[in-house]
Amino acid sequence: MSLLALQRDFGAWLRDGDADAAAPGMRVYQNNYRAALVACLEDAFARTRAWIGEEAFSRAVVEHVCRVPPSGWTLDAYPRDFPDTLAFLYPGDPEVTELAGLELALGEAFVGPDAVPLMQAKARDIDWDRAILRFIPTLDLRPAITNAHAIWLALAEEKLPPPVEILAGAHALLVWRHDLTSRFRLIDAREEQALALARSGLSFANLCAAVVAVEGEAEGIALAGQWLGCWLADGLLTIETGG
Amino acid sequence: MSPSSFAGFGLGLRKPHYADFLGPRVAVDFIEVISENFMVDGGRPRQLLREMRARHPVALHGVSMSLGSAEGLDRGYLGRLRALVEEVEPLFVSDHLSWSRIGGFNAPDLLPLPYTREALSLVADNVMRAQDALGRTMLVENPSTYLAFERDEMTEWEFLDALCARTGCGLLLDVNNLFVCAANHRFDARLWLDNFPARHVRQIHLAGHSQGEGLLIDTHDRAVPPSVWGLYAYVLPRLGPVATMIERDDAIPPLHELLAELDTARSVAANAGTLAA
């Protein structure tokens, strides 16, 4: 048997082998393999674990470890598919998937690329009629239909989580890293759409025009200005051009 | 191309001790970090490593290079490690004589290799590729193993000797791993030490283990036991300048306990008459 064949067989056994029929050494490897994956998911989804309970979380982890073998050289990649497993297991509880998705996004932002945020003081010098907004690379948008963000906050503060609510209207969770801390904020569909336009390379002037076309002149300009202020204060903007 | 030497005593840096190492200077000659924990794009881990590097020499120790993979090495992995090496300018870059990746599957573990001519050729090719990609020589660590292969064509020490000869790599001697393997596979650890290529050793790991179901398990969750100290003392006179460190990955005690263990290492080395930092 070639080394390639041996390693393929060994890998397949780790995933699906019958431990009861195996030599003690093989059982050690299989146990190490599973324990590492379980620990990885427990570490990445502490709030989700607290929300659904130990037993349910363990069942989800076992399901995930069986369904999704690790493929990346770093265990940081392994949690990425876990929200999909939760969506499969909890189709009627969307807050579970959203909570796990939020935890995942916060973790990814924590180790995402560094960027120098545009300081509010410097923003005064920018010609906003010509400016094209540039966003920090850790910015992530996730769809939100429940109050999973409020559940996350309560669990983080070790308070009693609120009951599940379906949000009125479309929303999104904006996730990013400010300095060294991951942050998130619930935004409505209008701000989400404006962010998508701005991230696509639209100039701020054209973004204002697009918002005005939908909201009317006074409301549109006020909204665009308000969002810009928030994005600056949140540290979401990085390098401006044309200003 | 031979790995450079460094004589001193250090610790593996783990999360519970980050704050200690950012405070008043800790009495270590170097620290070792797990490379993969810092092979991220940015954020706190990279900043922390820069702060640590400003205070201490750093060794990069990897667990995922998969030097024994029959499919070769992951280029993306090597690119990220190269970037880290350029930033940190580490004392050593090391990984294990093991494999973890095959056919799109990546086990988070150090899986065993048969000691065959085929495996030697493949590992040597992979080490050469890694050293080319990193622009420096590596250290390869003897792993803890829980099974042996009937197809073995040479001993582990012969495998390591040939690997060093073919690639110019150095060795990271994990004394605890040797003790665990000797117990699990019923061989004489001192005979192993009498025969292995000691001249290539640049770094030593000391750790503890636990008793599993008929096997010793390399758990790194307790103090270095007398049996491992004994092997350390036995091998020291055969080594040149070497960097010794305590490796603890679980049940991590307060820093002062690890520093006390490191003092024991210093005493053992002094009694063995070997070069200390």
The residues spanned by each domain of chain A are 1-91, 94-243
Neighbouring C-alpha atoms within 13 Å toward the C-beta of B208: 16
CATH class of A94-243: alpha beta
**Global ipTM:** 0.94
**Which positions in chain A touch B103 (Cβ < 8 Å)?**
8, 11
Percent of chain B whose pLDDT exceeds 90: 96
What is the identity of the amino acid at A198? A
How far apart are alpha carbons A214 and A220 in whole angstroms? 7
Q: What is the mean pLDDT of residues A63-82?
A: 96
| H or E stretch at B262 | helix B255-271
- In angstroms, the separation between the Cα of residue A176 and the nearest Cα of chain B is 11
Q: What is the pLDDT of residue B274?
A: 57
Q: What is the mean pLDDT of residues A181-210?
A: 95
Chain A CB within 8 Å of residue B176 CB: no
Q: What is the pLDDT of residue B268?
A: 96
Q: What is the pLDDT of residue B273?
A: 73
Residue B54 φ/ψ region, left for φ over 0, alpha for ψ in the -120 to 50 degree band, beta for the rest: alpha
Across A173-182, B9-18, B264-273, least confident range: B264-273
Subunit contact A3:B119, Cβ cutoff 8 A: yes
How far apart are alpha carbons B26 and B246 in whole angstroms? 14
Cβ atoms of residues B143 and B110 within 8 Å: yes
Q: What is the mean pLDDT of residues A40-46?
A: 98
Where does the pLDDT of residue A123 fall: very low under 50, low under 70, confident under 90, or very high at 90 and above? confident
Please, which residues have CB within 8 angstroms of residue A120's CB and are 6 or more apart in sequence? A232, A233
Q: What is the pLDDT of residue A204?
A: 92
Q: Is the confidence at residue A240, as pLDDT, over 50?
A: no
Q: What is the pLDDT of residue A121?
A: 72
Cβ atoms of residues B21 and B39 within 8 Å: no
Name all domains of chain B by residue range, CATH numbers in brackets: 8-271 (3.20.20.150)
State whether the Cα torsion A232-B43-A195-A234 is positive or negative. Answer: negative
pTM: 0.94
Q: What is the mean pLDDT of residues B9-19?
A: 97
Q: From residue B121, give the alpha-carbon distance in Å to each of B97, B136, B152, B165, B212.
A: 13, 20, 14, 12, 33
- Three-class DSSP category at B135: coil
Q: Is the confidence at residue A243, as pLDDT, over 50?
A: no
- Least CB-CB distance to B41: which of A32, A72, A113? A113
Q: Does residue B34 or residue A20 have the better pLDDT?
A: B34
Percent of chain A whose pLDDT exceeds 90: 88
Where does the pLDDT of residue B56 fall: very low under 50, low under 70, confident under 90, or very high at 90 and above? very high
Residue B66 φ/ψ region, left for φ over 0, alpha for ψ in the -120 to 50 degree band, beta for the rest: left
Q: Is the confidence at residue B101, as pLDDT, over 70?
A: yes
Where does the pLDDT of residue B277 fall: very low under 50, low under 70, confident under 90, or very high at 90 and above? very low
Subunit contact B36:A73, Cβ cutoff 8 A: yes
Q: What is the pLDDT of residue B1?
A: 61
Q: What is the mean pLDDT of residues B25-47?
A: 97
Cβ atoms of residues B160 and B196 within 8 Å: yes
Q: What is the mean pLDDT of residues B178-204?
A: 97
Q: What is the mean pLDDT of residues B21-41?
A: 97
How far apart are alpha carbons B88 and B63 in whole angstroms? 18
Q: Does residue A60 or residue A117 have the better pLDDT?
A: A60
Neighbouring C-alpha atoms within 13 Å toward the C-beta of A238: 15
How far apart are alpha carbons B220 and B246 in whole angstroms? 9
Cβ atoms of residues A60 and A38 within 8 Å: no
